[in-house]
Chain A
Amino acid sequence: MTTPDVTEPRVHRPTMSTWWWTKKRSYFVFVMRELSSFFIAWFVAFLLVLVAAVGRGDAAYQDFLDWAAAPWMVAINLIAFAFLVLHVVTWFSLTPKAMDVRIRGEKAPAAVIIASQYVGLAVVSAFVLWLVTR
């Protein structure tokens, strides 16, 4: 009796397409959420330029305002703002997954955690508004 040849089974290894993230809505939203980080960085840079301009006096501040009012600049900021909103909404809604908050031994409902973040955002925004307009 001869021993049959034992060979590794020939498996098929599928490869992922470069466009995998366009094939499902949830994947697309995920990639947009990741992309939104660039626009967050953009707003941080924008704010730093604003602060620097304010520090350099009235003329520099006026130059900054003229630069910021250019149509291409407004267009960039509108797109950036849309991504900013996406960033906030998606990350706020994911927070309950990472945080296991317990109130008197009971798991806090996800809605409570999400709502408290919006309250926090509103409070901080109101404070900043008061600070710059007083």
Chain B
Amino acid sequence: MASNEDSIRLEVTRYRPDGDSEPQLQEYDVPLRREWTVLDGLNHVKDEVDTTLSFRWSCRMGICGSCGMNVDGEPKLTCATFLSDYAPGPIRVEPLSNFPIIRDLVVDIDDFMQKLPKVSPWIIRDDDVTEIDGEYLQTPEELDAYKQFSMCINCMLCYAACPVYGLDPEFMGPAAIALAERYDLDSRDHGARERLDVLIEHEGVWGCTFVGECTTVCPKHVDPAGAIQRYKLKAAKENVKAFVLPRFLQ
């Protein structure tokens, strides 16, 4: 089928681990419908053209964070990226950058899954109060302090956009640090000291050179770059305090 007004060409990365030594591009023409997203195009291919194409998706409404891919070189949630915005095409659909490719558009995110618990992204208390004793009450202002950083859906677009992570996979990365900041800013949490010990390392916040692309590509407006820079200020203050103050005052 040739490209015409009612169709658009997808140039999709194929990588079959049992046969291919390198990823290759395969072209598919899909109907260009006003309400269709790139994910709808891929699902059309999967259902009607080539059942062997592999990609991740689930909710189709920008909540689950599974359908992240590079669309024309930009990390995007494919369920929120419309074909018509790229007309007349072609549209290059590739797996997210900076991750090992398992098959076609599916990447291996194990590295992130191992890093995430290191920043203890949960509420840590230093008293014996538990939720059984009642709710942890919070004012709207206290909620507002961290709410933006709590919107992360772990879609990995920020890791795909981050050249620091691409060059140094040891770097903790944008989403994990933004989540650490989210709990640090939570009035119910007492775990800031614990997280700082992890993030004050070179692979923590200091790896970041403030490219800022993580924030640009974030579909939930979390602003990981902002979180990391604020964390750097905090870490620098701790360093100065450790240098200037006697131990019992720190």
Interface of A with B (CB < 8 Å)?
A: 9-14, 16, 20-21, 23-24, 26-27, 30, 34, 94, 97-100, 105
Contacts and interface: CB of A to CB of B under 8 A. Distances in A.
A98 B101 contact: no
Contacts, number: 65
B22 interface: yes
B209 interface: yes
B131 interface: no
A94 B211 CA distance: 10
Given A12-B101, A13-B101, A21-B163, 5 more contacts: A9-B17, A11-B101, A20-B166, A30-B212, A100-B230
Given A11-B101, A11-B108, A30 B211 contact: yes
Given A16-B167, A105-B141, A11 B211 contact: no
A11 B102 contact: yes
A26 B213 contact: yes
Interface stretch (B34-42, B81-89, B221-229, B238-246): B221-229
A105 to B, nearest CB: 6
B97 interface: yes
B233 A98 contact: yes
Contacts of A97: 210, 212, 215, 223, 225-226, 229
B18 interface: yes
Contacts of A94: 210, 212, 229
Contacts of A16: 98, 163, 166-167
Nearest to A100: B230
B226 A27 contact: no
Nearest to A107: B144
A16 B160 CA distance: 12
Interface in B131-146: 141
A96 to B, nearest CB: 8
Contacts of B226: 97-98
B190 interface: no
B30 to A, nearest CB: 25
Given A23-B73, A26-B216, A97-B223, A34 B101 contact: no
A20 B233 contact: no
